């Protein structure tokens, strides 16, 4: 990884703000912005794309998947809805989730049409225990749907352990990874994940409008996509001069069957460049750096006697730290006026630094929030 001051040069925001809010969105690095602007200019001048890299290969590398297992989606919610609506739910089926989830991990299964029961595993002081998941899953469980990292308190799951529980009962593991990919190591093969989805606008340093859906190879052809368009069929069909075959539906054998139509190409180009920045820095380095910064933050918050809502065992830690404080919304607004950006969540303040932040920035934040 480059030296931090060199790295900060590609993040123009570092010149005028202390930005510790990557669990919300990421300010675009300069190369991402430049690549997107170049594409927009080209499109405006020529009506097409100069070279179109959709970033799938880079995302596949980030999560240790094969490119054929990756579909482009608009955002994480779209990825989750695609999966929720293609799985079948026999009479009495249930989906197991937790009471810490972001709405998009739960709402898709609330559709009456699906007729599936949702079981919420209750957190214990911000943690979800594997034993509690084990108790909630039974032979009627069709899927376990969770976030790799919980949005409010940053609790990180051991996905391998959860996939073992799910698979032992014949259930799928569906993962919302928007709060982890780009910040932490994610390995769909090591952890035996069935479906994983994430938009790029948070820890992956990309723009809104594009994300990815991973579907385990063995499952791709098992499912008919819930939404179908020209992009869902075998590429050789749309790459010929022949009129479109419209009487028969020949779905793609790869994860592109879960795509429908024209994606946000400007966003995809930006995503690809953003993912290249992460791959060049190396996820193990990024993860180490983020955990060093959050360790530092936790120490400082403890010194100030602030109560942490984030579980502190190393295996459950992530890029998110949340602590309780009076009137968090007002505090966040006040900090914003001073150029310090964090979020108010769950009666506390959520702080989420990325690898280019510094200990000095963390110190300035702690001083400002406690003064």
| Shortest distance (Å) from residue 205 CB to ligand PLP | 14
Q: Site residues for ligand PLP, window 202-241 (CB under 6 A)?
A: 211
> Quick check: 199 binds ligand PLP (CB under 6 A)?
yes
The residue (of 319 and 366) whose beta carbon lies closer to ligand PLP is 319
The residue (of 29 and 209) whose beta carbon lies closer to ligand PLP is 209
Residues 84-108, buried b or exposed e (16+ Cβ, 10 A)? bbbbebeeebbbbbbebbbebbbeb
| Shortest distance (Å) from residue 72 CB to ligand PLP | 13
Site map 65..104 versus ligand PLP, x via CB under 6 A: ----------xxx------------------------x-x
Retrieve residue 360's tokens: 């000095």
| Shortest distance (Å) from residue 76 CB to ligand PLP | 3
The residue (of 77 and 294) whose beta carbon lies closer to ligand PLP is 77
The residue (of 22 and 276) whose beta carbon lies closer to ligand PLP is 22
Segment 283-286 long-range contacts (CB within 8 Å, at least 24 positions apart): 283/62, 283/182, 283/184, 283/185, 284/185, 285/1, 285/355, 286/1, 286/182, 286/183, 286/354, 286/355
Distance CA 166, CA 193 (A): 10
> Quick check: 58 binds ligand PLP (CB under 6 A)?
no
Retrieve residue 267's tokens: 């966003």
| Shortest distance (Å) from residue 150 CB to ligand PLP | 7
The residue (of 109 and 151) whose beta carbon lies closer to ligand PLP is 151
Q: Are 359 and 293 in contact (CB under 8 A)?
A: yes
Q: Site residues for ligand PLP, window 121-150 (CB under 6 A)?
A: 147
Q: Which one among 21, 153, 179, 318 touches ligand PLP, defined by CB under 6 A?
A: 179
User: Which stretches of 100-205 are DSSP H helices?
Assistant: 103-106, 130-136, 159-168
Retrieve residue 90's tokens: 């026999």
Distance CA 347, CA 152 (A): 10
> Quick check: 350 binds ligand PLP (CB under 6 A)?
no
Give the β-pairing of 348-351 and 321-324: antiparallel
Residues 79, 85, 91, 93, Cα dihedral to 10°: 0
The size of the interface with ligand PLP (CB under 6 A), counted in residues, is: 12
| Shortest distance (Å) from residue 69 CB to ligand PLP | 19
Which one of the spans 49-57, 172-180, 332-340, 344-352 is the region binding ligand PLP (CB under 6 A)?
172-180
| Shortest distance (Å) from residue 299 CB to ligand PLP | 26
Distance CA 251, CA 258 (A): 9
Q: Site residues for ligand PLP, window 102-121 (CB under 6 A)?
A: 102, 104
Give the β-pairing of 172-176 and 141-147: parallel
Task: Using alpha carbons, select from 85, 46, 369 the residue that is nearest to residue 226.
Answer: 85
Which spans of this chain sit near ligand PLP (rule: CB under 6 A)? 75-77, 102, 104, 147, 151, 176, 178-179, 199, 211
């Amino acid at each position: 990884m480059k030296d931090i001051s060199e790295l900060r040069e590609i993040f123009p925001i570092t010149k005028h703000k202390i930005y510790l809010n990557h669990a919300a969105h990421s300010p675009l690095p300069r190369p991402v912005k430049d690549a997107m602007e170049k594409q927009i200019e080209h499109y405006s001048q020529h009506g097409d794309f100069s070279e179109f890299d959709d970033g799938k290969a880079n995302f596949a590398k980030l999560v240790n998947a094969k490119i054929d297992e990756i579909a482009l989606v608009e955002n994480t919610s779209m990825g989750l809805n695609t999966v929720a609506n293609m799985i079948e739910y026999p009479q009495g089926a249930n989906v197991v989730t937790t009471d810490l989830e972001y709405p998009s991990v739960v709402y898709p299964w609330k559709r009456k049409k699906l007729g599936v029961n949702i079981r919420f595993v209750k957190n214990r002081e911000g943690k979800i225990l594997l034993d509690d998941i084990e108790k909630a899953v039974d032979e009627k469980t069709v899927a376990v749907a969770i976030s790799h990292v919980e949005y409010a308190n940053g609790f990180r799951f051991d996905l391998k352990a959860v996939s073992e529980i799910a698979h032992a009962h014949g259930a799928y593991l569906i993962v919302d990874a928007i709060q982890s990919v780009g910040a932490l190591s994610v390995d769909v093969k090591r952890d035996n994940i069935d479906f994983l989805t994430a938009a790029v606008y948070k820890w992956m340093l990309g723009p809104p409008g594009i994300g990815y859906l991973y579907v385990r190879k063995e499952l791709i052809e098992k499912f008919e996509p819930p939404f179908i368009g020209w992009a869902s069929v075998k590429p050789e069909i749309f790459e010929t001069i022949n009129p479109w075959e419209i009487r028969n539906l020949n779905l793609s054998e790869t994860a592109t069957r879960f795509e429908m139509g024209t994606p946000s190409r400007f966003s995809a180009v930006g995503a690809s460049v953003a993912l290249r920045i992460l791959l060049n820095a190396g996820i193990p380095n990024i993860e180490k750096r983020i955990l060093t910064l959050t360790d530092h933050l936790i120490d400082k918050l403890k010194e100030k006697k602030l109560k942490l809502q984030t579980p502190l065992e190393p295996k459950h830690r992530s890029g998110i730290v949340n602590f309780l404080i009076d009137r968090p919304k007002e505090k966040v607004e006040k900090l914003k006026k001073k150029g310090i950006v964090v979020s108010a969540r769950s009666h506390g303040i959520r702080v989420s630094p990325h690898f280019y932040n510094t200990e000095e920035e963390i110190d300035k934040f702690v001083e400002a929030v406690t003064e």
